[in-house]
Amino acid sequence: MAIEAARLSPSLAAAAILGRRGPPPVALPLRRALPLLLPPLRRRLCFVAAAGGDGRAVALPSSELRKRRGGASSSSASPGGEDEKLRSLRRLLARPDVAIDAYIVPSQDAHQSEFIAECFMRRAYLTGFTGSAGTAVVTKDKAALWTDGRYFLQAEKELSHDWTLMRSGNQGVPTTSEWLNEVLPSGCRVGIDPFLFSFDAAEELKDAISEKNHELVLIKDLNLVDEIWGESRPEPPKERTRVHGIKYAGVDVPSKLSFVRSQLAENGCNAVVISLLDEVAWLLNMRGSDVPNSPVFYSYLIVEDTAATLFVDNNKVSEDVLEHLEKAGVKLKPYEAILSDVERLAENGAKLWLDSSSINAAIVNVFRSSCERYVKKRGKAGRQIGKESSQGDPATGSSGVQNGTVNALYKVSPATLAKAVKNEAEVEGMKSSHLRDAAALAEFWCWLEGQVRESVPLTEVQVAEKLLEFRQKQDGFIDTSFDTISGYGANGAIIHYRPTPESCSSVGSDNLFLLDSGAQYIDGTTDITRTVHFGEPTPRQKECFTRVLQGHIALDQAVFPERTPGFVLDVLARSSLWKIGLDYRHGTGHGVGAALNVHEGPQSISYRYGNLTALQKGMIVSNEPGYYEDNSFGIRIENLLLVKEVNLPNSFGGVSYLGFEKLTFVPIQSKLVDLSLLSPSEINWINEYHDEVWEKVSPLLSGHSLDWLRKNTRPL
C-alpha cells in the first residue's frame, strides 16, 4: 500500500500534522476522546502550554458516512451559502469559554493511530475529505485542508468550495503554522485538542506560531468537532479482545515485560507509558477489533519496575484474556484512569519514560503539572523531605523531578524497535500467511480475467468484494489489512483511491487496472499491489510499467551494509523513472507488522531522508514504486520483503551485509513488460521469481486457477 509508516521516527507525526515542507527530522459533544466510555466531564479545563516548555487514518467514504449518520452531505451549505458545519464551528470559536481565533483538526485519535474508529473520524466529518492523511484549520473567516500528493485528486473531488486545498510539499505552499502566521493578526489564540496531538507536534506548533505572538490553547475537555457532531456521532467500539497465542507471538508476555524493565533500569526510569495501540497489543500478546483493518484495541499500558497496568474497558476483557493477563502479572484499570495514574507516578517522584513522538500532549501536560505540584509539596515539607531523601527516597537520583524541574525521559518507546524486528515464529507466520494469500489472489485473478473476457459488467466495488470472498476462504483469515484500492483507468492515478457504489467505474479491457489490497490473518499481515491490462496496453503504458518494474527489481536485489537507513535505498526504486523525467509522490517502502498494523515504524524506505532508522535483520518492509498519470492511469507493483543477512566474499570494515527475501508470491503480468528496456539480469529476475511463485503456490491450487498460475509464470 502506497504510504509511508505513520511513525518512522520521533517527530514524523509532528511533520504530518504540521504539513512541514522538506525533510522532517528523525511516524497522529463534551464527551472526550480520552474518557472513551464515560459521560461528559462536568468541568472544562482550558490551559495554555507553558512558555519555554518542553499516515492512513482510513475514513469511510463521505457517502457512507452520510448514509450511516442519516443526515445531509458533510459539505452541505446553509441558506447563506456557507457550509453549515463551518458555521457551527465558528460559533464555538467565539463562545466566551472557548475564545479562540483558529482551531486545528488533525486526522489522529488519542493514540496517534493511522486507522481510527469511526467515532474519531473528526476531520473527515468536518471536511467531507475521506483520505487517510490531512489536517484541517478553521479560522473565523477561512478554512483550509492540508494533504499530501497521494490525495490531491481525491481532495479536489471531495472538498466543497468553502475549503481551500493546500497541496503539502508543493513549492510555495505554506505549512499550517506558516499559514496561520500569515492570515491571523499578531497575538491570536490557536486552539487544539491536546489528546489528538503528540507532544512533539504540539510543541513544534507552539514554537512556530509564537513568531507572531500567537498563543497555543490546549482545550482539554471539549472537542469542538464532537460538539457540533452531537448525538449523531457513532458510539465507541465495544468488541472483545482475544489472546494472540504463543505459537504466533513467539515470545511470552513476562519475557517482553522483562525486556521493557531492563530498558527502564538501563535508562534510570521507574515507569513507561505505552500509548501506541499496536505496541500495547504486541507487548501483551493480545489482539482486538476496535479499529478497522488493524487487530488492536483502545488502551494504554504502564509498565513499572515492579508492576504493569493495562487501561482498557473491562467489558472488552473475556475470562480467557483476564487469565492470560493475570498469569503475566498485569493489572486492569479503566481506560479513562490513565491520567490519574500518570498523576500518581509524578506525585510519587517517579521518572517517567515518554515517547514524545506518539504520547499525546494531554498526558505529558498532566505529568508536568503533577510534577510541579510535587515540587511545591517537597518545598513545604522542608527538612523532613530532605531527611527522607538522604535515606534513599526515590525523589532523588532517578526521580521525575530534579532541582525543581521535570526530569522525564523523552525517548522512542522501548517496544518500537523490538516489535519491528520479528522473531522466528512471527517470520514463519508471515511466510505461511503470504502463501495462503497468494493462493487466494491466484484464484481471484483467474476469475476476474474470465469475467472480463466474457464481457461481464463489473464495478471496482464488486471486484473488491469478490477478492474479499476468495480471501475469506483461506484458513486464519480475519479481516482486510486496509480498504482495498481498486482503480480502473484514471481512478488508478488516485494513489489512495476509494471506490464507492455511487461513483465507481466498471473494470474493462481498454485501460490499466490497479489493485492494492491486503489481509489480516491470525498468523500474519499481507499487502500486495498488482497492475494489469486485460486488453492491449499502449507503448506508453508498457514503458512506464517496465520502468516501475525495473525500480522494483533494483530494490529487491539491493545489498547494503548493516546500519544503513532505508532512505539510502529509495533512489534505487526511482532511478529508472528519473531517466525519462518521471517520479511518484509517495514513499517506496513502509514497515509491516506481524499479524498487526499493515503500516509500522520505525523503518521505512523513503525520499524523506530525515528517518535515520537502520534496516535490521528481521524487519519487514514493502517494495512499491509506482507511476501515476493524472486522469489517465496508475501503476504500482508491490511485494513485501524480509530483511536478511547475506553471505559475501568480503566484509569491508568488519561489518555484516544485508539484503532482502521476498514474502509475496503472485505473478507480475508479462504482457505489460517492454523487453527491449530490460537487461539480461532483470529478465532473469522475473523468470526466477515466477519459478518460485509456481513452486510455492501451485501445491495450493487446482483446476482453472492452477492453469492460470502455470500460464502466468512461464519464462519471458
> What pLDDT does 150 receive?
78
User: Cα–Cα distance between 539 and 331 in angstroms, integer?
Assistant: 63
Which of the residue ranges 35-44, 172-181, 613-622, 659-668 would you say has the lowest mean pLDDT?
A: 35-44
Query: Does 47 reside within a domain?
Result: no
Query: Counting Cβ atoms within 10 Å, is residue 59 exposed (0-12), middle (13-18) or buried (19+)?
Result: buried
User: Do residues 435 and 539 both lie within one domain?
Assistant: yes
The amino acid sitting at 157 is K
Report yes or no: 271 and 302 within 8 Å, Cβ to Cβ. yes
For residues 133-146, average pLDDT: 95
The runs of H, that is alpha helices, within 277-318 are: 277-284
Global confidence as pTM: 0.85
Residue that is last in its domain, among 232, 253, 283: 232
Same domain? 169 vs 247: no
Same domain, yes or no: 272 and 215: no
**In terms of DSSP bridges, do strands 271-274 and 352-354 run parallel, antiparallel, or are they unpaired?**
parallel
For residues 586-597, give the mean pLDDT. Answer: 97
Of 58, 31, 482, 63, the C-alpha closest to 235 is: 31
Percent above pLDDT 90 for the chain: 77
Give ∠ CA 75-81-84 in degrees, rounded to 5: 45
Q: Which of 169, 199, 232 is the last residue of a domain?
A: 232
For 544, list phi and psi in degrees, rounded to 5. -65, -45
- Quickly list DSSP for 609-668: TT--PBP-TT-EEEE--EEEETTTEEEE-BEEEEEEEE--S--GGG--EEEEEE----PP
Averaged confidence pLDDT in the chain: 87
What CATH number corresponds to the domain at position 565? 3.90.230.10
Q: Tell me whether residue 263 is in a domain.
A: yes
* Three-class secondary structure of residue 95 per DSSP: coil
- Shared domain for 375 and 427, answered yes or no, is no
pLDDT, residue 499, reads 87
**Residue ending a domain, choose from 390, 417, 444:** 417
Of 9-13, 157-161, 502-506, the least confident: 9-13
Please check whether residue 312 is in contact with residue 303, taking contact to mean a CB–CB distance below 8 angstroms: no
Number of domains into which the chain is organized: 3
Evaluate if residue 470 carries a pLDDT over 90. yes
pLDDT at 52 over 90: no
Encode 206-259 in three state secondary structure: HHHHHHHCCEEEEECCCCHHHHHHHHHCCCCCCCCCEECCHHHHCCCHHHHHHH
Structure confidence by residue, pLDDT tens digits, 345-389? 998 889 999 999 999 999 999 999 988 887 777 665 543 333 333
- The proportion of the chain whose per-residue pLDDT surpasses 70, expressed as a percent, equals 85
CATH code of residue 217: 3.40.350.10
Together in a domain, 375 and 440: no
Residue 33 lies in a domain: no
Write the pLDDT tens digit of every residue in 484-529: 999 999 999 998 888 888 889 999 999 999 999 999 999 999 999 9
Q: pLDDT band at 131, cuts 50/70/90?
A: confident
d(CA 364, CA 367): 5
Rounded-to-integer distance, Cα 166 and Cα 163, Å:
9
Question: What string of DSSP letters covers 339-394?
Answer: HHHHHHHHHTT--EEE-TTTSBHHHHHHHHHHHHHHHHHHHHHTHHHHHHHHTT-T
572 in a domain, yes or no?
yes
pLDDT of residue 2: 54
Give domain status of residue 4, yes or no. Answer: no
User: Which pLDDT belongs to residue 58?
Assistant: 31
Same-domain pairing of 527 and 629: yes
pLDDT bucket at 81, cuts 50 / 70 / 90: low
Q: What pLDDT is attached to residue 502? A: 82
Residue 70 in domain: no
- Residues 6 or more apart from 261 whose CB is under 8 A from it? 303, 305
Return d(Cα 385, Cα 381) in angstroms, integer.
6
3-class state of residue 410 by DSSP: strand
Torsion from C-alpha of 398, 399, 405, 410, nearest 10 degrees? 60
Residue 34 lies in a domain: no
How many whole angstroms separate alpha carbon 392 and alpha carbon 385?
11
**Domain match, 553 and 522 both:** yes
Could you tell me if 159 and 251 lie in one domain? no
* All residues at 6 or more sequence positions from 653 whose CB lies less than 8 Å from its CB, including other chains: 561
pLDDT-derived band at 406 (thresholds 50, 70, 90) equals: low
* Shared-domain flag, residues 411 and 432: no
pLDDT digits (tens, 9 = 90+) for 294-307: 999 999 999 999 99
pLDDT score of 373: 81
Read off the pLDDT of each residue in 235-263 and give the average, rounded to a whole number: 97
> Distance between CA 114 and CA 493 in Å, rounded?
22
What's the domain range around 221?
Answer: 84-232
In this structure, the answer to whether residues 333 and 216 fall within a common structural domain is no
Are 529 and 585 in the same domain? yes
Is the pLDDT reported for residue 449 higher than 70? Answer: yes
Average pLDDT over residues 698-714: 98
Are 202 and 209 contacting, i.e. CB atoms less than 8 angstroms apart?
A: no
Residues 476 and 332 placed together within one structural domain of the fold: no
Please indicate, yes or no, if residue 521 is contained in any of the structural domains: yes
Q: Tens digit of pLDDT for each residue in 526-550?
A: 999 999 999 999 999 999 999 999 9
